Amino acid sequence: MRIYSAHYAGCKRKEGLALDPGRVTVLNEGDAGGRLREMLFKATGMGFPIESRFKQMNFRLVHAHFGPDGVMAAPIAKRLRIPLIVTFHGYDATVKDEYARKSYYTHRNYIRKRELLKQDAAAFIAVSDFIRGKLIAQGFPADKIIRHYIGVDTQLFKPSPDSRSSRDDIVLFVGRLVEVKGAAYLIEAMSEVQRHRPDAELVVIGDGPLRAELESMAARKLRKYRFLGTQPSDVVKSWMNRAKVFSVPSVPTPSGAEEAFGISFLEAAAMGLPAVSFRTGGIPEAVSDGETGLLADPRDWRGLASGIARLLGDEALWRRMSARSRERTCESFDLNEQTQELERIYHAVLAGDRSQAADYQWMPSRIDA
């Protein structure tokens, strides 16, 4: 951010995040007292170390990520008399209440206090138009909801100079091996693709509870495949440079879980890697059908196979979609530009005019948020 300075607060510290310790406040450092403070905060909304730190630093606003966290942050923002913004990222807007109640305490707490959150928060950010529609359907005030794409670092994710002339017939999946990601449909589609293109290979990066089942399915149905498990970002990027098609064919699940947007699609697109997927959730916002990829109807694995085969077999189409994928990501989803837009949202909320979030003028000095 250019104008605002962020301070990070939460229940626990996540290992591996390179954050300035002076800009981090957590309730639970792993000792007995910390565990008690975390439990008290989740049960009552009283987060004494966080709140006292906020008072000392004179913050201007609180930005909570995910609906359940918004519920926990709301009492603090209210007592400090500063506005609260809550971003909804996916499951918090899509999972049905009857399933969410069986989940974590924080989500049950969110369901109980959701109506208060609708009143108390100054604004809600939806990571896609799809999620915005879900929030409106749940009774969130439409005039408080702002659609804001998070974006990707287009300088970090960019194709190597020789990648367009050295791609292999690889279809790349990157994601958790869970039902909503639809990997089983991709295996079915690849079995059809390999009937006509036996050298085409499926590469799966990621792990999850369905891995053993999916590997067994692949062993029965596919000629060439590999499951690489969880990999660091540099390995993911190297495969995005080698592959010709990116595919995470997400599907709606009985619980209501659905792909909110799909940052991985934008990362692939920034690498010049076109996508083939299902037309579900927020995916059509990340993948422009016929322009940066090909979309099939949900669960239509034959349509998925047709799209994959078309991109693998039509070099002119692949080159056109590859170039446009990179262009569109830089035009509409660049992380730097999207972060500046987020700052404009902060300005508008502090000024009390959410309708001006898209074009509010820059404030001249740096602000702690």
In eight-state DSSP terms, residue 134 is H
Q: Specify whether 119 is located in the same domain as 130.
A: yes
**pTM for this prediction:** 0.91
pLDDT for residue 356: 53
157 domain-assigned: no
308 domain-assigned: yes
For the chain, helix (H) and strand (E) counts, in that order, are 15, 14
Q: Specify whether 236 is located in the same domain as 350.
A: no
Q: Specify whether 298 is located in the same domain as 340.
A: no
Residue with token string 């029965």: 220
Q: Specify whether 174 is located in the same domain as 253.
A: yes
Mean pLDDT, rounded, of the chain: 91
Other Cβ atoms less than 10 A from the Cβ of 1: the count is 13
156 domain-assigned: no
Q: Specify whether 285 is located in the same domain as 191.
A: yes
Sequence-separated (6 or more) residues with CB below 8 Å from residue 239: 170, 172, 174, 203, 205, 231
Q: Specify whether 18 is located in the same domain as 56.
A: yes
The predicted-structure confidence for 46-98, as pLDDT tens digits, reads as follows 766 777 777 788 889 999 999 999 998 998 899 889 999 999 999 999 999 99
The predicted-structure confidence for 278-330, as pLDDT tens digits, reads as follows 999 999 999 999 999 999 999 999 999 999 999 999 999 999 999 999 999 99
* Local structure of 184: helix, strand or coil: helix
* Local structure of 43: helix, strand or coil: helix
Distance of alpha carbon 48 from its chain centroid, rounded?
31
Residue with token string 């940066």: 292
230 domain-assigned: yes
Q: Specify whether 12 is located in the same domain as 83.
A: yes
Q: What's the Rg (C-alpha) of the chain? A: 22
Q: How many independent structural domains does the chain possess?
A: 2
Strands (E), 152-264: 170-174, 201-205, 225-229, 245-246
- Domain residues for the domain of 248 are 163-332
The predicted-structure confidence for 214-273, as pLDDT tens digits, reads as follows 999 999 999 999 999 999 999 999 999 999 999 999 999 999 999 999 999 999 999 999
Q: Specify whether 109 is located in the same domain as 248.
A: no
12 domain-assigned: yes
Q: In what order do the strands lie in the sheet with 245-246?
A: 225-229, 201-205, 170-174, 245-246, 275-278, 293-296
pLDDT for residue 79: 87
178 domain-assigned: yes
Q: Specify whether 356 is located in the same domain as 291.
A: no
pLDDT for residue 354: 57
Q: Specify whether 65 is located in the same domain as 104.
A: yes
Sequence-separated (6 or more) residues with CB below 8 Å from residue 205: 172, 173, 174, 175, 228, 229, 230, 231, 235, 236, 239
Q: The domain spanning residue 225 has which CATH number?
A: 3.40.50.2000
Does the pLDDT of residue 34 top 90, yes or no?
no
Q: Specify whether 209 is located in the same domain as 84.
A: no
Q: Provide the pLDDT confidence category of residue 174 given band limits of 50, 70 and 90.
A: very high
Sequence-separated (6 or more) residues with CB below 8 Å from residue 349: 61, 83, 85, 122, 123, 357
Cα(259)–Cα(271) distance, rounded to whole angstroms? 21
Q: Specify whether 112 is located in the same domain as 89.
A: yes
158 domain-assigned: no
The predicted-structure confidence for 353-367, as pLDDT tens digits, reads as follows 655 554 444 443 445
Other Cβ atoms less than 10 A from the Cβ of 79: the count is 13
